[in-house]
Amino acid sequence: MTVAEDIDVAADSPAKATRGLTRKGALYGVLSALMVVFCVVPFILVIVISFGRKVEGAAWVWGFSFENYQRFFVGTLWPDEVTFLYLQQLGYSFYFAIIASVLAVLTALPFTLLLTRLKRSTQAIWLVFILSSLSMSEVFIVMGWDILLSNNSGLPKLFQVTGTTQWLKDVGWFQSLRDIGLANPRNVKFKPSEFATILTMSYLVWPYAVILLYPALSRLDPSLSEAARTMGASRWTVTRTVTLPSIRLPLMGTTLLLFVFLLGSYVTISVFATPDKQTTAVAIYSNIRGSNLNAPFGSAQAVILLISASICLYFGHLLNRKAEAR
């Protein structure tokens, strides 16, 4: 306690101090109630409803059964018949999210490194641009890429007009593109495809990657790498032995956060992914708001998504703690 605070307490009369205390207590009470009602109850509802049961031809009823979870992991007809359809959807959620987040971080890292070396005022202009792109709604971004990748306008048209398609055919790469589903007999075709999905997803989180890496990278001490440089280390050696080790943890933390964010992405998947590669987020939607109308099963899927995300966030938290301890 500082001297000034001592004086403060001494100057206040005891009655006044108690009144201040109760007012603080009331504030704590109101805020706690608010947080519990709005930030905790919704999650509890999802968890509780996931144990409920759907009634054929009606909505659903409360209950306590694990059949929704059983259905998720092994299917309704288990043990006679086993289906991994829903696990596979979760697998695709992970698959798309992992590739897209790693891709975003790998490309955002050199960019952010260069950004932090610019003048502070120039940095601010870049940050405005990146924040604006970051806040762009997923629907706008999907719309933009959809036009860019669509067959009638955008890149396929550009490929055709500039003769790139013909060139691809001539050198024989066109067949390889067809084999991985990125071309129809006449021209290149970018959607729906994994390529379009992953491209849009990493575009979606790329500004986040920059913003999240920015604090760690702007605190890098340039004198360290300069010292290594003067001692004769090559640029690449400096990057490998000085820069990368010191940002390893924020790098992994950022990838994890982006991954968690992408786990739930809905619009991109529903527009760009092929029907056999839909993810858990899409399934949640179709169960709760869409055609299936099976809120308990949708909730169970949401709970599983939440648990997956929490595990990742927990590891991210551990990494952060480790980073701060150093």
Which of these, 315, 312, 283, lies nearest to 300 by C-alpha position?
283
> In the complex with other proteins, which residue's Cβ is closer, 122 or 166?
122
The stretch near other proteins (CB under 8 A) out of 164-172, 174-182, 183-191, 292-300 is 292-300
Residue 281 interacts with other proteins (CB under 8 A): yes or no: yes
Smallest distance, Å, CB 119 to other proteins? Answer: 9
Residue 84 interacts with other proteins (CB under 8 A): yes or no: no
Tell me the backbone φ, ψ of residue 54, rounded to 5 degrees. -85, 140
Smallest distance, Å, CB 276 to other proteins? Answer: 21
| Nearest-angstrom CA–CA distance, 218 and 47 | 41
Residues of this chain, 145-174, that bind other proteins according to CB under 8 A: 145-148, 152-154
State which of residues 61, 84, 117, 321 lies at the interface with other proteins (CB under 8 A): 117
Question: What is the gyration radius of the CA atoms in the chain, in angstroms?
Answer: 26
CB burial readout 82-95, b (16+ within 10 A) else e: eeeebebbbebbbb
DSSP 188: B
> In the complex with other proteins, which residue's Cβ is closer, 109 or 174?
109
Residues of this chain, 232-271, that bind other proteins according to CB under 8 A: 260-261, 263-264, 266-267, 271
Residue 41 interacts with other proteins (CB under 8 A): yes or no: yes
Residue 177 interacts with other proteins (CB under 8 A): yes or no: no
Q: Is 15 exposed, middle or buried (0-12, 13-18, 19+ CB in 10 A)?
A: exposed
The stretch near other proteins (CB under 8 A) out of 79-87, 179-187, 309-317, 318-326 is 309-317
State which of residues 292, 309, 320, 323 lies at the interface with other proteins (CB under 8 A): 309
| Nearest-angstrom CA–CA distance, 186 and 189 | 9
Cβ atoms within 10 A of the Cβ of 235, count?
A: 11
Q: How many residues bind other proteins (CB under 8 A)?
A: 89
State which of residues 1, 4, 58, 325 lies at the interface with other proteins (CB under 8 A): 4
Contact 193, 182 (CB under 8 A): yes
Residue 106 interacts with other proteins (CB under 8 A): yes or no: no
State which of residues 21, 45, 106, 311 lies at the interface with other proteins (CB under 8 A): 45
Q: Residues 6 or more apart from 114 whose CB is under 8 A from it? A: none
| Nearest-angstrom CA–CA distance, 167 and 176 | 13
Residues of this chain, 50-69, that bind other proteins according to CB under 8 A: none
State which of residues 78, 129, 167, 315 lies at the interface with other proteins (CB under 8 A): 129
| Nearest-angstrom CA–CA distance, 198 and 136 | 18
Residues of this chain, 192-231, that bind other proteins according to CB under 8 A: 203, 206-207, 211, 214-215, 218-219
DSSP 36: I
| Nearest-angstrom CA–CA distance, 112 and 104 | 12
> In the complex with other proteins, which residue's Cβ is closer, 14 or 79?
14
Which of these, 255, 251, 253, 247, lies nearest to 225 by C-alpha position?
247
Residue 23 interacts with other proteins (CB under 8 A): yes or no: no
Residue 82 interacts with other proteins (CB under 8 A): yes or no: no
State which of residues 18, 19, 20, 173 lies at the interface with other proteins (CB under 8 A): 20
